[in-house]
Structure 1
Amino acid sequence: MKFSAQISQAIDRCLTDEIPFVAFAMPGEAEVCFRASLPDGQFRSPAFRDKESDSFFINFFDNDEPYTAGVSFDMTEEEVNNFHDPTYHARIFGDSIRPRVSSTFRASYHEAFSAVKPRLKKDGGKVVLSRLRSLFTKKTPRLIAEEYFALTDSTFRYLCFTPETGVWLGSTPEVLLESDRATGLIRTMSLAGTRPVDESGDWDEKNIREQAIVTDYICHTLRNAGLEVEIRPLTERRFLNIKHLCTPIDARGDVSIPELMSALSPTPAVAGYPRERAIGEIGRVETHRRHCYGGYVGVRIGGDYHAFVNLRCAFMAPVTLSGTKGWLGNLYAGGGIIAASQEDAEWLETESKTRVLASVFLGENGQEGEEGSRLTRSSVSFLSDLPPSGHDDGQLVNSAGI
């Protein structure tokens, strides 16, 4: 999917000057929409400052901020390309949070799995363990987005920058919530259970159980909000090389959509069940922060919300690797662990979930942050750590281990 010349220029301008922006495409649509914010005095993108305005939003996994980061639709690509404000100065790129340099090692995943499995055997429930792959690429986020968007046209696709979150891109098949003010209909889905796309026959008990846990939680949350709920027939939903079990769910009633999104997120599909216990265990055993992975992302247009669970995504920042300029990306994937889970199968599932985006990142010249590779904390410098001249002075300000 080739972006238009105007959109390409606007994205590059926003990344250079750190103007909050989003380029997105709705599921099944080839058209890419671009919008950018005029930052307020605190350099915060006021996506929800006007409850009737169109905007893009992106939230963190732990869902504990009093506001949602995002992009208000203040400027089109043409307006960004003509934007000039002598009082505006770009800040240090992504200085609040940064991608991690090292990938999740197999041994670290083993320790996390071994820590949660005994409790699950004893008490039941589910914990979603995630891992990240840390990749270096010479491709820009725009070029990665163009290629990734073209491969995943049935999903919600986005590339964005906000000061709170840094640069993210993703392609998510999972609807958190879509609302239609005209009809009062609210649509969501329970998406859980994973297997290779070429595997046929009945789904195993582990995947069916995962699916039921998520469905029950979503329906309980909707009914708790006073909504009438209709559960539609179970189906399969394909995403490139894998497929998931999917239960579409409809609801009707009078409710605050932002409050409902907050109540639903994170669902057991990305956290576990019971949810609060699972989130606590994730914080104890995972060796990385999820940031916006597993949170929600989407747009509000004409008063209607289109919110999706932030999956198949990457968190990016500009770096140098041994003097070569490029971008560092953290690619995230997770899998639901229950009493019947097998560690090797769960690890391979995360491999499958990151394979396509990793192939786009790596191309011919990428590097992955594994043991023995060139991508290490001593070889990577974040551009915001370099002297004003833009040349590496050989010293790394080490704040990558987050």
Structure 2
Amino acid sequence: MNIFLKIEETLQKQLPFVAYRKPNTSVLKGRFQKNNNLITLKNYSESGFIFAPFDSSEKAIIISEEQSDFYQEEITLNNIFIDDTTYPADSSSEENHTQLVEKGVQAINNKLFKKVVLSRKEKIEVSDFNLIQTFQKLLCNYPTAFVYVWYHPKVGLWLGATPETLVSIQNNQFTTMSLAGTQVYKGTTNVTWQTKEIEEQLFVTDYISERLSSVSSKITTSEIETIKAGKLLHLRTILSGKLKTNTAALIKTLHPTPAVCGLPLEASKQFILENENYHRGFYTGFLGELNINTNESNLFVNLRCMQIVDHIVYIYVGGGITQDSNAIKEWQETVAKTTTMKKVL
């Protein structure tokens, strides 16, 4: 059966499912659960598709290999129309977010932490939301992203197109990345980065490298490169190594990364939980294949995502705050990031 038809059929039956395509591939995969059980992860030894929240004290959900049917097929999606309808950002959101950023900068000046990632949730009312069309638009327009649609009747409906890998593991070899800094793509990746973005990227890379030293050996780090993700550019560094322990220890070491939380981790996370004034849920959590083929996992950070509740779309967006951050510019960066999701509605 065509996976898009399977998605519609499974959604009508209100059974859990996920459909996804990895970056730079044309293979669409789907895992469709045979019952509506809510299966939470116990110890990372299970196999299937994991959907994990930002806050690691909350339970991760898995569509298990044992309780689901798996489909995959080659897809070709050409020239799917992107609507130019604009959804203006809420002016009250601007005031709230700039005040939050200013509070974050003040906390950095007070030496509470070096960096914090602050986010917001934007509400858009859509009268005629079409899941399949929206998913196909994401697949067509973000070929270098991990694109997914995930549903569980007891949790909700999420879609996304994320540019960031949390970790890929095969046997005892792994690869991860640090991703930070954002600017709008204007026809070239040969751009100048400001000191603020370069420092933010180095913060993230150094932190991840230090954290990995406890669970891995032979860590190698690539040069910083500029990558394109939709209409945005980011700075990226690839890190790889050999695992000295198990998958669970590696994931717990990496999540949440400074790219979605801050530095130092606990202080910045506490600031987020106390000051963002909304629940991130699965935004800036992670998702992907866990222990597929017994020894392979491919997990991605849940960025550039939306949650669908009836006729309301919630878009989640944020940015890294450092000592040099400007509140107005940080707001503008979040507005630029929302276009990834808004363009497909």
Partner of 1:313: 305
Q: How many residues align structurally? A: 320
Structure with greater strand share of residues: 2
Match of 2:96 in 1: 108
Q: Secondary structure at the match of 1:311?
A: coil
Deviation digits for residues 9-36 of structure 1 (CA, Å, limit 9, x no counterpart) = 2212222222110111111112211111
Shift of residue 292 of structure 1?
Answer: 0.4
Please report how far the alpha carbon of residue 50 of structure 1 lies from its aligned counterpart in structure 2 after TM superposition.
Answer: 9.2
Partners of 1:114 and 1:262 lie apart in 2 by 30
Superposition pairs of residues 2-401 of structure 1, within 5 angstroms: 6-39=2-35, 43-45=37-39, 51=45, 53=47, 55-65=48-58, 67-73=59-65, 74-76=68-70, 105-123=93-111, 125-137=114-126, 138-163=128-153, 165-181=155-171, 184-198=172-186, 200-300=190-290, 301-302=292-293, 303-318=295-310, 327-361=311-345
Find the aligned partners of 2:64 and 2:258 in 1 and give their Cα distance.
30
Q: Which runs of 5+ in 2 are unaligned?
A: 73-89
**Residue pair 2:44, 2:248 contacting (<8 A) in 1 also:** no
In structure 2, what is the Cα distance between the partners aligned to 1:262 and 1:103? 37
Question: How well do the aligned residues superpose, as a CA RMSD in angstroms?
Answer: 2.2
Task: Decide whether the 8 Å contact of 1:36 with 1:72 is kept in 2.
Answer: no
Deviates more, 1:344-353 or 1:253-262: 253-262
Residue type matched to 1:172 in 2? T
Is contact 1:219-1:229 (8 Å) kept?
A: yes
Please state whether the residue corresponding to 2:344 is helix, strand or coil.
helix
Name stretches of at least 5 consecutive residues in structure 1 with no aligned partner. 79-101, 319-326, 362-402
Provide closer, same or farther for how the CA distance between residues 139 and 256 of structure 1 changes in structure 2, counting only shifts above 3 A. Answer: same
Q: Is the contact between residue 123 and residue 312 of structure 2 (CA under 8 Å) also seen in structure 1?
A: yes
TM-score, normalisation: structure 2: 0.86
2:77 aligns with: none
Structure 1, residues 289-339: CA drift from partner, whole Å, max 9, x if none?
Answer: 110010111113212000111000111122xxxxxxxx3221111111111
AA of the residue aligned to 2:319: G
CA contact (8 A) 1:189 1:248 kept: yes
Specify the code of the residue in structure 2 equivalent to 1:185: Q
Q: So what's the TM-score if we normalise by structure 1?
A: 0.75
CA contact (8 A) 2:43 2:248 kept: no
Q: Which amino acid aligns with 2:336?
A: S
Residues 58, 103 of structure 1: CA spacing in aligned structure 2 closer, same or farther, 3 A cutoff?
Answer: farther
